[in-house]
A and B are shown apart, each in its own frame.
Chain A
Amino acid sequence: MLTRLFHSQLELGLAQAAAAFITAFAVVIFGRRRGIHLERETLIAMLRGIVQIVAVGFVLLALLQAPNWSSGFLLAGMIVAAGSISARRAKGIPGAFRISVTAVALGAGSVIAFMTGLGVINAAITSLVPVGSMLIANAMNTNGLALNRLRSDIIGKVGEIETALALGADAKTSVAPYMQASLESSLIPAIDSLRSLGIVWIPGLMAGMLLSGSRPIYAAIYQFVVLAMIFAASGLTAMISALLVRKRIFSPADQLILRADAA
């Protein structure tokens, strides 16, 4: 219907965005009637999302002419932004921003660097930045989930943790069950993406490769490669983050310093 009403690509895109926005917000209104209040957060997230992705469109336009080395700066900027966003899920954890940035840089950054070195990711800026951003974005989501779960588990299990400490356990042992649970739960989306690949969804990257003339089999295999890289980057990021959090929430004398009233 929209294609008949709008003839220029830009007008059509704006109309499609408006349709998707209304649909998404209808879900929020539906949730509100059942006492789930996500209006403000969803509205801000959607407005931010559209502004940011349009801005990226302009950046990509400029990238086509930029030298390859500039991709390093772009990815570094994305890592800082990803760390900042996921750190908000770790309210009350001391040094959450620094922890998140370090974890995403070491986790996603090292996978990007390693895979680029191997030639799995093309070093050309038009390839490295979009693929790298996928890894960073997913690492950010996983990190946010891991930190959020770890924080709530630790605050909810202070009694159990301090009981273990009082019995002579070290900090590592006292929080081990909660670290494991947070890592496992945070990686569920990445694992499910791999598991459902091709059955439940065909990712946009594959569609893009097909449209740009790649052979279907190569596009399919590369899609698996991307998801496997996402899993590696996400898992590594969450693990590093959890380890760094553990160091920050205990004193040198193995005293738990994270408390509900601080979070």
Chain B
Amino acid sequence: MPENSAAILKADHLGRSVGTRILVEDINFEVPAGRVLAIAGPSGSGKTSLLRLLNRLDEPTAGTVYFEGFDYRSIAARELRRKIGLVTQRPFLFPGTVADNLRFGPAQRGESISVQKIDELLRRVGLEGYSSRTVTNLSGGEAQRVSFARTLANSPSVLLLDEPTSALDEESRVGVEAVIRNTVVDSNLTCVLVTHDMSQAVRLAQSALVLDSGRVARYGLITEVLHAY
């Protein structure tokens, strides 16, 4: 039975520890459909660990996540990861062309995407005409945009972004942030954005959660959380 129909994504006392080391502990939050939640905090505070739990790349050792009202452990991991897409901090592109990378996700469930769809995805991330380029010739910013388009090719309901601009130079960062704003905010896509840049959080998110030593230090509307700093 659905746990909470209002929130598309809900962390419920979520935690993970490895041996005696606690990565994240007792995390609770909700993300309503079409909203952006920013997760901030210092290095080593558990931001990436939390995002990996949301994509179920790691298994929670406490609590769980509800996706569309269902405990996400009741959903096949592959299907869940398609629906909760993840863009990693470093874009790990597969050898081949940009189009090959965009086809990868749909191909995992026996689907192919049309040339028109590939062109449309590339247009959305500002890489029109890049379809047949080999990935080895891309700049860092271009690679991150391809990574973004590749995740969008899976038509996810929720997008997880792990510091997508932190490894980029200033010019690329501005470009990628514009892509996030255009595709996520304007398209009303639900998003969890990990960032160490509070000004970026303000520009993109409506609510924020600040982690400290794996625990929630503050959670609420972005203005409230910002006000506390």
Task: Give A contacts to B, CB under 8 Å.
Answer: 159-160, 162-170, 173, 251, 253-256
Contacts and interface: CB of A to CB of B under 8 A. Distances in A.
B70 interface: no
A249 to B, nearest CB: 14
B108 A163 contact: no
A26 B193 CA distance: 59
Contacts of A169: 78, 104, 108
A84 B133 CA distance: 47
Size range of the interface on B? 20 to 34
Contact of A159 (B77, B78, B88): B88
A168 B82 contact: yes
Contact of A166 (B55, B90, B109): B55
Q: Closest 5 interchain pairs by CB?
A: A168-B82, A167-B105, A163-B92, A166-B86, A253-B77
Contact of B104 (A159, A164, A255, A256): A164
B154 A168 contact: yes
A255 B80 CA distance: 13
Given A168-B78, A168-B109, A255 B90 contact: no
B144 interface: no
Contacts of A163: 88, 92, 94, 147
Interface of B: 55-59, 73, 77-79, 81-82, 85-86, 88, 90, 92, 94, 104-105, 108-109, 147, 150-151, 154
Contact of B79 (A167, A168, A256): A168
A212 B147 CA distance: 66
A255 B57 contact: yes
B73 to A, nearest CB: 8
Contacts of A253: 56, 59, 73, 77
A160 B58 contact: no
Contacts of A254: 77-78
16 contacts: A159-B92, A163-B88, A163-B94, A165-B57, A166-B81, A167-B81, A167-B105, A168-B108, A169-B108, A170-B78, A170-B108, A251-B59, A253-B77, A254-B77, A255-B57, A255-B58
